[in-house]
Structure 1
Amino acid sequence: MYTAQGTIEKSHLLAQHQPLVRRIALQMMAKLPASVELDDLIQAGMLGLLDASSRYQDNRGAQFETFVSQRIRGAMLDELRAADWGSRGLRQSARGIEKAIQALGHKLGRSPTEGEIARELKMDIEAYQSLLQEIQGCQLLYVEDFSKDDADNAFLDSHSQDARKDRRSSDDPLEQLLESGFRHQLVDAISALPERDQLLLNLYYEEELNLREIGAILEVSQSRVCQLHSQAISRLRAKLKDLL
């Protein structure tokens, strides 16, 4: 719908795309611990939707759904960051898995198996799988990855700083990484993962299937999909550390 001036009617777009907020929130919930409330994400996403509807200019050429999806996700991420949903202990556990995967990869010359990672961490397989379940909200990149205070993550900070030297504008870390060749290194890292990890990431991030649907394809339970997802992200971070 358009106004008399030929611009898109914002109230119509707002009503039409409200279900998008819930869909994005549900997608994000699959990667977050149980302590995060769906309603909180939806509320933050609605604020992002309102902000997007007021800022969008249809003469810029960007489709509204693409534009608003970015704003909604950004608002939800801001809410999560403010709430600090991931404890320091959980993040340290996630990094411990990454270190074990990286060390074993260097030693074995291949991606380690689940059992090998558990032994490297001096855990039995059940305890390791339980830990994977706990860190199911681990992300590919953390805000802390760009901090110089953590030597374990200096590879991302250094890469971001190198990119900044060659650029004239944005200080946005994600934009810096993408423009510095990070996108190509990410593709290389994914292609080096075991086949099942590649399939899982494709189903989740490209096909946007939910955990139940992915579990049906892989013939495992939803909780097992969470474990495999956590392990795949840890493997991916370890690969990126080597590449970067």
Structure 2
Amino acid sequence: MTPERNHAERTSSPAAASRTSPSSEASDRAFVRRAMRLPLLSPEEEAELASAWRETQNQTALHKLVAPHMRLVISTAVRFRHYGLPLNDLIQEGNLGLMQAAARFEPARGVRFATYAAWWIRAAIQDFVLRNWSIVRTGTTAAHKSLFFNLRRLRAKIERGGRDALTAEGRRQLARQLNVSEHDVLHMESRLAASDRSLNAVIGEDGETDWQDLLVDDRPNPEETTITQRDARLRSRWLGEALAALPERERMIVQARFYSEGNVTLERLGIKLGISKERVRQLEHQALKRLRRHLGDVPGLQPNQV
């Protein structure tokens, strides 16, 4: 075993992973039994093996170090199997966390490897659960991740198992305990209560209507797109004509102030034109008044909005 593994080799679909043959399931059970029977290491043996792996990349030492800790992976994976994912996939991801722990473990710190590896194993399994529990990404922030793994337990504790949903007071109490917002609690509660549904699922007695047929398309229709493009061309033409009618110095100021990158300052324009900053401001104000008179009351044609 090596501490690095290509992420593409991981099983990304629980549905695909669950289609295992009886022989595969039997081998999985045999693997678990062998792992649980391996003897634990003494602190001295553990430190020696960890040092050999860290200093010389001894693969044999790595195997001897991590093999007895497979039971830690299995026991952690079992605690997450109620999320509906195959146990062997959870164990696989826990193994990745175990290898990451072995790659980063420093025996000189005097900490037992099991204590150090427990965090990496749990983190790897939690990440796998979040990625595969639903086709929609569930835990996008630290608050969502904390809620996902603690909401059911704390809800049962707060409501004493008497409700399927949190009350307003229970939601506030849970938010305080996890240091998250009530909105996050409500969002995660609704996510956990819902299930994935295919847009191609048939509805209705005739069997000819899918869920996706009921989705509303908020995009503009071809007529609205054509009108918007035509209006934009008209505004650009009218504004170009209005700018061309300005005196050269005023036109340069308006173009520099509203149509150049960085929005040139009055001071820089004053230096360039050899006049004061206040005089530039006066010319800009005068140019904008000329443009408004030229353009009339047509909405949306102010220079800073085009």
TM-score bracket, shorter-length normalisation: 0.3 to 0.5
Whichever of the two has the greater Rg, that structure is 2
Q: TM-score, normalised by structure 2?
A: 0.29
TM-score normalised per structure 1: 0.34
Higher normalized contact order (CA 8 Å, seq sep 6+, divided by chain length) = 1
- Structure (1 or 2) with the greater helix fraction: 1
